[in-house]
Structure 1
Amino acid sequence: MTLTSSVQTTARLRRGRRTSGAPRWALIGTEIAVPVVLVALWWIVSAGSTNTFFPPLSAIVGRLGQLLATPAFLGDIGVSVLNLVLSFAIATVVGVLLGCALGLIAWLSWFVEPTIHFFRAIPPVALVPIFVSIIGFGNETRILSISLAALFPILISTIDGVRAGDPTLEMVGRVYRLSRAERVFQLVLPAASPRILSGMQVSLITAFVVMIASEMLGSSTGLGAATLLAQQSFAITDMWAGILVLGVIGYAATALFTLFRRAILRWYIASQQLEKSE
């Protein structure tokens, strides 16, 4: 790319940003303001509540502060976060590798894809009792359940992304005499990365839901188990405190992945902005 074309591209991107709608700072401010306003309304509306099942938010926050000072509650948070991260990592590695193989090898895809679509149609939470019956109530069961549930969105998006690749990339790889592995990691995967990361974002939400469900079913550790135990013991304030922490973890996980996705796909986002500005 010449200097002149580079300057022209930068100018078009800046014009696109100016004409693409609200300023970025306004969008970020709105994203922060909405949860703050909702929490403030919750605090005000629940201030005089005498309902046992809907205690005031001030009481929930106070109890949460007490629970955060106990090693048991912190341990439950650590177990849940660790299971989520480990299972999501396993699902990502297996999904991307298997998706590449199925996307590139036609005969393998022909044999395996019907089975994939069969298991994908089963609700992820429904798989938890099956693994509990086969393996037991150990932590390995929860990790396996979460990983399998999170696998399919990544797997399907990887297959679609690999198959939707530009045939020109294959020709370029052959011209430069790249090996099969080099073509996959340097050409195929980067081109398929927008779809793969979109599948990973869906997978993260699925993993979070199944993480809670697996901990509520026959487990004594994790935030899901602690929240269910509080509900069964009529410790309603503890139950709401656990729900708040689960919400914060889910929001934080989604926000961190969004930042990661934007950093990885900076080139793709820039190209989309360029197309809109033209």
Structure 2
Amino acid sequence: MLDATPAFLELYDREASLTLEDLEAYYSQFPNLFRDIYFNGHCPHTPERLQAALERYPEHIDRMRRVIAQLPAILEECAEAMSLYLNVEFAVDATMLVGAYGSNAWVSHSRKLYFAVEKLSDDPQHLRAIVTHELGHAFHFHMLAQAGMDWSKIKWDGHTSLYFEGIATYLTLRLVPGLADWEYFSYGEEYGGEPWLNFCRAHEAEIRQRFTDDLPAYTFESEREWFRLSGGRHFGHIRLGYYLGTEFVKALTKTHTLHETMTFWAREELPPKVHTWLERMKKTPTA
């Protein structure tokens, strides 16, 4: 694991208060991580954003330290559990950083994992859930590659996000037992909590229909609406695509083995399976 947090803590723990210049000095120690990755799609790099982060760190620093202390062991534990569950060997490449309250965790298409500790819960089970979710993406990408996936031909759109997020959430449900149902989607109240899941269940048909309507002209704004923290214009709730994706994958596992569910895209087209599921669900009344 690349651990970029000690450099931040060294600056933070000085007698003088942390400044914008200190943050920029921290980022400059890891130019590839911050300039090329974190501030290139995962967080705005503006003085206003950094100043807001400076004002939030004192309230959260103790939690951040607890996350830093726990995360490496939890990552190792969860990676081993997933490897055994899927019967797949995979060398995990992870990075731990202090960001400016943008994305909490993500995986690159090259299967590298990133965790921004200021955005993570220090509850061990919540950490296991989000770590397992991100590992699910990495293992999924690896299994598709091993099955012969031609990544150059992929169109990254609503079909792919639905499938990838559904797989990652499904694996978390299987490998991190004991959480409330809503915690597999939220990892805490911040992203909607139990009311979010109740809304999904009560309005599943309307959510599915609106997602279906958005697919033909899917844009980056559509991606934000359905799978990013900055969405929520359609229904007042963010990341509703995670719920739909999980239901899609659950349906696939009723007719396919888990390995087939995670690798069929290397041999078949994904959009037809998504549209078949969406059409079938239109004919199935929700409770």
**Same fold flag (TM > 0.5):** no
Q: Which has the larger radius of gyration?
A: 1
- TM-score norm. by structure 1 comes to 0.23
- TM-score norm. by structure 2 comes to 0.23
**Structure showing the higher strand proportion among its residues:** 2
The answer to which structure, 1 or 2, has the higher relative contact order (CA under 8 A, 6+ apart) is: 1
